[in-house]
Amino acid sequence: MINLQAIDDAVGADFHCHLDLYPEHIALIGECEKLKILTLTVTTTPKAWPRNRELTESCSYVQAALGLHPQLVSERANELPLFEKHLAETRFVGEIGLDAGSRFYSSFAEQEAIFSRILSMCAEQRNKILTIHSVRSVSKVLKHLEKNLLPFNGRVILHWFTGTENEVRKAADIGCYFSINDEMLKSQKHRNLILQLPLDRILTETDGPFIQRAGKPIRPAQSTLTCVELSKVRGLEPYQMKNVILKNAKELLAYI
Ligand code: MN
């Protein structure tokens, strides 16, 4: 369980990574604990949850989330009952969401059915914190969030958000947070979008191991470097950006 007191000495925050997809899964959990990196490690199938939970339940800084990745819905929709079974065991949900990219569009109707069902289960249990994928489907994702969950029955972090300025405003209005990664900071278009984000809704993420730094899968501790890059975009000193991120993280995690 994340210990809210421990958050006071956290040095960084990675709100979306996949520790269980690194060969050194266990060592990385230890590294995040030792270096005091608040880490939300997502899962992609409900079957992966029990092991992830077991490995993180005694952690102070690392928390696992229960997920059903939209890109896996076509093969894993049958795990939805398992998702439902485990949901009461955690406050953290992800990776979930929608993906309307060409490779996954054929399962889009099924993705929507599952996403909507997961959101209503989360709303019913309240108090959940969700990290959400929204590739080419931001307006649909926001519509489902408004219908089923926000603004009162949960908290949402939009992971690797690539919507429009209008969608930023809409998402912020219903209470969403935004987790920013290295790849987003490389694009001028996304840097412009990041300038529109309310400062009190910004978090950092790595999405490791899917993002590389210096030719190797990025590690959660390197989210502190992402924070430095982000400070330049926002015109803040690195320590100010870090304080903003950690304050936002603390407010989010203290949500009841
Ligand atoms: Mn991911």
Q: How far apart are CA 131 and CA 177, in angstroms?
A: 9
Cα-to-centroid distance, 8 and ligand 1 (Å)? 26
- Asked if residues 124 and 88 have their Cβ atoms less than 8 Å apart, the reply is no
Mean pLDDT (whole number) for 127-131: 96
For residue 96, report the phi and psi dihedrals to the nearest 5 degrees. -130, 175
pLDDT band at 195, cuts 50/70/90?
very high
Cα-to-centroid distance, 73 and ligand 1 (Å)? 14
Q: How far apart are CA 137 and CA 163, in angstroms?
A: 8
Cα-to-centroid distance, 20 and ligand 1 (Å)? 11
Cα-to-centroid distance, 159 and ligand 1 (Å)? 8
**pLDDT tens sequence across 227-248:** 999 999 999 999 999 999 999 9
**pLDDT score for 35:** 97
- Asked if residues 46 and 68 have their Cβ atoms less than 8 Å apart, the reply is yes
**pLDDT score for 82:** 98
Cα-to-centroid distance, 132 and ligand 1 (Å)? 9
> Identity (one letter) of the amino acid at 97?
G
**pLDDT tens sequence across 3-43:** 666 678 999 999 999 999 999 999 999 999 999 999 999 99
- Asked if residues 40 and 32 have their Cβ atoms less than 8 Å apart, the reply is no
pTM of the model: 0.96
Cα-to-centroid distance, 98 and ligand 1 (Å)? 12
**pLDDT score for 64:** 98
Cα-to-centroid distance, 63 and ligand 1 (Å)? 15
**pLDDT score for 108:** 97
For residue 215, report the phi and psi dihedrals to the nearest 5 degrees. 75, 5
